[in-house]
């Protein structure tokens, strides 16, 4: 893409801000964007995947499980993608969860999680322990989030469809870490998105900064004392980055900006740009941001910027804010969640399925029935200060845990999410297909396969990694791969 495709006002502003660095920045837009692939360490290690991978992989310096991969190799069409062995994610975006640094056993909220890149990354880092609440306010995008987490095989996740304010009112001071991947003007995606270039304007930048500050204010209420609030954007605009963080710190003295570990390619924040904007419009393009909080700028160099001319990927900004631990902690749940009870016949139907088709009965100690859907709830590692899950009553949620399957009359039918959360050895009947075989493509298209053996549910795998369910009758396996996911 040539630099002339970029908005002239944007170029003028960046020239004024970057100075001698601007020619290298501009030259990056004459190179094609790169594609990223992040390995699902819930299912396979990065080292093992590198040995197995059919793709050309170059490491992403700030993400041990991340790689740059040529787009022409089409990793999104490979059966390994359908098996959830990796997520296709822009390389700079991988830095966000790495700096969040989620730990197994923590309780974490991704406040604007769709389509799921950062949520899947967090889930992998948590290694199935603790609780991840993945929230998305948009009623359609939340289903894309659910689909990606399902393919990822994440079991310890609650997916909600709520506003930040509603969650903050219900769960104050509750989470060890909260991620705000804020809606922004998208300047960092100009190399990849014609729509972002077309829709950009100084007014958009100003409007985004106001919305971002409002979202951060609600997110701050959700962080426990001693916890982290990570703010991220995919824009270069200091009004949306250092400016928003400076205003937030002015208004929230209980937080401070942390200095994260810096890998190669992770540059510092630019507090001097706020000074430039305060003293006058940079390059005559954008006016100064009112109340930008210059008294807070000393901390702003601790923020992280990623640039397309300094590393693989596009533009990103990340700030890690820590809430002071000295505050007293409020109780997050005013009342315990009255979890949907499971009738005895439903529990028995599920146990009968497990006994006949699995080598284990996942989630049997913490089951919940919502409508006809049966779930295994997170919380195997609950502690005395967190004796139960956050109260979901009255909130909009998509899944309150790992969706195991549905009750069809008196019969239990397993879900695709159950298959993708299992390992090959968890199933009694397995049909393993090589990734290069025509049969695996036929299965993903929903076609019948010839496979003699015992009748019943079969876990279909690719090179040992679950793809989904099949149903064997009379030596033939009918694909139960979801119709909405089938490949033509």
Catalytic residues: 234
Rg of the chain, C-alpha, whole Å: 24
CA 222 → CA 225, 232, 380, distances in Å?
A: 10, 17, 22
Q: What angle do the packed helices 117-126 and 141-152 form, to 10 degrees?
A: 30
Q: 427, 428, 433, 463: which is closest to 445 by C-alpha?
A: 433
Name the 3-class secondary structure at 36: strand
DSSP 247: H
Question: Is the CB of residue 424 less than 8 Å from the CB of residue 465?
Answer: yes
Q: How far is CA 334 from the centre of its chain?
A: 28
Q: What are residue 384's phi and psi, to 5 degrees? A: -55, -35
User: CA 245 to CA 362: how far, in whole Å?
Assistant: 43
Which element (helix H / strand E) includes 413? strand 411-414
User: Which phi-psi region, left, alpha or beta, contains residue 409 (left: φ > 0; alpha: ψ -120 to 50)?
Assistant: left
Report DSSP state, residue 59.
E
Residue whose C-alpha is closest to residue 379's, from 159, 169, 155: 155
Residues 6 or more apart whose CB falls under 8 angstroms from that of 192 comprise 33, 90, 314
Reduced 3-state DSSP string for 453-465: CCCEEEEEEECCE
Q: How far is CA 276 from CA 239, 271, 306, 406, 426, in A?
A: 11, 9, 21, 59, 60
> Is 141 within 8 Å of 114 (Cβ atoms)?
yes
Q: How many helices (H) and strands (E) does the chain have?
A: 15, 23
């Amino acid at each position: 893409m040539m630099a002339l495709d970029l908005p002239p006002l944007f170029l003028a502003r960046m020239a004024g801000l970057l100075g001698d660095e601007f020619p290298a920045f501009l030259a990056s837009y004459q190179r094609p964007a790169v594609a990223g692939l992040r390995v699902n360490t819930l299912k396979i290690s990065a080292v093992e995947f590198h040995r197995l991978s059919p793709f050309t992989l170059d490491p992403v310096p700030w993400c041990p499980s991340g790689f740059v991969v040529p787009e022409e190799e089409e990793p999104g069409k490979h059966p390994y993608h359908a098996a959830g062995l990796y997520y296709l994610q822009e390389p700079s975006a991988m830095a966000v969860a790495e700096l969040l640094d989620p730990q197994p056993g923590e309780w974490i909220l991704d406040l604007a999680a769709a389509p799921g890149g950062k949520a899947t990354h967090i889930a992998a880092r948590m290694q199935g322990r603790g609780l991840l609440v993945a929230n998305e306010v948009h009623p359609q995008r939340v289903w894309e989030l659910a689909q990606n987490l399902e393919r990822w095989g994440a079991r310890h996740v609650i997916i909600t469809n709520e506003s930040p304010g509603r969650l903050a009112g219900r769960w104050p001071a509750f989470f060890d870490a909260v991620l705000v991947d804020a809606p922004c003007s998208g300047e960092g995606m100009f190399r990849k998105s014609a729509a972002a270039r077309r829709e950009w304007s100084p007014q958009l930048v100003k409007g985004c900064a106001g919305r971002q500050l409002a979202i951060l204010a609600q997110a701050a209420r959700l962080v426990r004392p001693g916890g982290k609030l990570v703010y991220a954007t995919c824009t270069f605009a200091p009004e949306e980055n250092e400016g928003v963080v400076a205003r937030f710190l002015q208004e929230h003295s209980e937080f401070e900006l942390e200095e994260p570990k810096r890998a190669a390619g992770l540059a510092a924040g630019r507090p001097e740009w706020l000074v430039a904007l305060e003293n006058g419009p940079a390059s005559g393009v954008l006016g100064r941001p009112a109340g930008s909080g210059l008294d807070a700028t000393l901390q702003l160099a601790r923020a992280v910027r990623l640039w397309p001319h300094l590393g693989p990927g596009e533009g990103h900004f990340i700030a890690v804010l820590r809430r002071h631990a000295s505050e007293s902690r409020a109780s997050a749940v005013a009342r315990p969640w009255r979890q949907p009870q499971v009738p005895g016949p439903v529990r028995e139907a599920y146990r009968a399925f497990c006994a006949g088709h699995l080598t284990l009965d996942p989630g049997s100690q913490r089951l919940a029935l919502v409508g006809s859907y049966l779930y295994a709830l997170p919380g195997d590692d609950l502690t005395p200060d967190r004796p139960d899950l956050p109260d979901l009553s009255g909130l909009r949620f998509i899944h309150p845990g790992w969706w195991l399957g549905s009750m069809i009359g008196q019969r239990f039918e397993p879900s695709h999410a159950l298959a993708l959360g299992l390992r090959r050895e968890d199933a009694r009947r397995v049909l393993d297909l090589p990734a290069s075989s025509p049969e695996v493509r036929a299965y993903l298209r929903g076609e019948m396969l010839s496979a003699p053996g015992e009748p019943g549910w079969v876990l279909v795998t690719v090179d040992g990694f679950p793809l989904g369910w099949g149903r064997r009758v009379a030596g033939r396996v009918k694909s139960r791969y979801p119709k909405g996911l089938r490949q033509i």
